[in-house]
Structures are given as structure tokens and as C-alpha cells.
Amino acid sequence: MKRSGGTDAEKRRAGERAAAAVSDGDVVGLGTGSTAAAAIRALGRRVDSGLDARAIPTSHQSRALAREAGIPLLTLEEATPDLAIDGADRIAIPDRDGSPVLIKGGGAAHTREKLVDSAAERFLVVADSTKLTDCLDSPVPVEVLPDAVPVVERRLSALGGDPTLRAAERKDGPVVTDNGNLVIDCAFGPVDDPDSLAADIAALPGVLDHGLFVGLADVVYVGTDDGVDVYRSGD
């Protein structure tokens, strides 16, 4: 799946704002991707200055970055995250009450991200301004057991989708996730009922999880040219 690109400055502003929301004693779920990386680096600077925070990573990437930044690490067996900070590929902010809907998984990390983000008491999303959209129409990443690919592709087509097995960019063959599985990017056109699509995909045998995050995000920090726009669930 092609990664989108907002500016590094927007990502840094969003990441720093989310890292500033971490309090002494917090356990933080660390998302994956370039904007979560900005938050991890900002959190590392706060830990270096004396903040007592520990973290649960969602990928090899976020584990390595957290180690490099000097953030002590835990597992889900040892603690429940007080908050999680994670990026998104697409974000739809509802007009009325309700939680922002996200599409995640551009880096194939959405299964562990959903596990950690949903376990956290608060889920803070960090993004650059290119991620906001009125229409959720980008493909939904679906992590699938390797043996299940043909069956899941047929069933995704039956749900009205157009599935494509994600190819690796720097190796021959498909992308293999941190969990040893494959990813199907499934285009559905505009997703009008994300709740029901999320339930339909999750129910398919062989699917580990998909990148539609519905009813999970509490706050979205969007970096802009000169600051950070904040959207709260239910505002």
C-alpha cells in the first residue's frame, strides 16, 4: 500500500503534543509509523528529563525506537496501557457526536496496534494534515493467515471489495507482517457504514484483524503549518 506523506514538521508537532499528554507513572502504548515515531522520540526526551513512563510497543519498529529513545518497555502481560499514541492513514471526523473512524495498517502493523490501542484507557491519534478525509475510500488492510489468502480474497469480493495481496517493495513476493502473516488491501469504494463493514471483515475465518478502527479513538491531534488541531470524540 502506498504510504501517504504529510510534512515532517506536522508529524513532529502532533507527536510532541501527544507525548506532552503523558503523566508521571503512565504506561503508554506505542504505535507504529512515522508519526508515532515522532511521538516516541518526544516521549524519550521527556523520559530523559525525568518523566517516569514505561511503554508497550506495537511492532518491531516501535520497540527498537523506544529502546533507542531510552523508554523502559513492558508487555501486555505486565501492564495495561493508561494511554496509547498511534498514527493513522485516514481519519474521518464525524459531524455530530461519535468517535473518529480510522483506517490504519499502511505499515502492516494494525493487528497489534488494535490490540494495544483498544486495551488503553485513552487512545490518542497523531497525524499530519493529509490524513483527514470526508470520505473513507482508501483500501482497508486485512492481515490474513498465509494459507487463508485465496479463501479470504473470495469472501472479501463477496462483500463487495476488490482485494489485492500486498507486495513487498524491497523483496520478491508479499509483505510478511511482524506476526508472520500476509496483508490483503481491499478497496470497497466509499465506506458508508464502517461499523458493519468492520464486523463483516472481522468475522471471516483466517482474518487476524483489519485496519478499520471504529469507536476506539478518544482524541486526534493533527499537525498543521503552525500548530496542532485537536478533535475529541463526542465534541
Ligand X SMILES: O=C[C@H](O)[C@H](O)[C@H](O)COP(=O)(O)O
Contacts with ligand X by CB under 6 A lie at 31-36, 86-89, 104-110, 113
Determine the Cα–Cα distance for residues 222 and 34; give it in Å rounded to an integer: 14
Residue 68 known to be catalytic:
no
Q: For ligand X, which is the closer residue by CB, 129 or 151?
A: 129
DSSP H helical ranges for 49-127: 60-69, 110-119
Smallest separation (angstroms) from ligand X to the CB of 39: 9
* 177 assigned ligand-binding residue: no
* 114 assigned ligand-binding residue: no
Could you tell me the sign of the dihedral formed by the alpha carbons of 204, 209, 211, 212, in that order?
Answer: positive
Smallest separation (angstroms) from ligand X to the CB of 104: 3
Which of 119, 174, 116, 170 is CA-nearest to residue 141? 174
- Angle at which helix 34-48 crosses helix 60-69, to 10 degrees, equals 30
Q: For ligand X, which is the closer residue by CB, 122 or 151?
A: 122
For the record, the C-alpha cell of 120 comes out as 488503553
* 87 assigned ligand-binding residue: yes
CB atoms within 10 A of CB 52: 12
For the record, the C-alpha cell of 171 comes out as 523483496
Smallest separation (angstroms) from ligand X to the CB of 18: 12
Q: For ligand X, which is the closer residue by CB, 36 or 204?
A: 36
DSSP H helical ranges for the chain: 8-19, 34-48, 60-69, 110-119, 149-158, 194-202
CB-CB contact of 110 with 212 (8 Å): no
* 88 assigned ligand-binding residue: yes
Residue nearest to ligand X (CB): 33
* 104 assigned ligand-binding residue: yes
Active-site hit among 113, 121, 143, 153: 113
Q: For ligand X, which is the closer residue by CB, 67 or 130?
A: 130
Smallest separation (angstroms) from ligand X to the CB of 11: 6
Annotated binding site for substrate: 32-35, 86-89, 104-107, 131
Binding residues: 32-35, 86-89, 104-107, 131
Active-site annotation, residues: 113
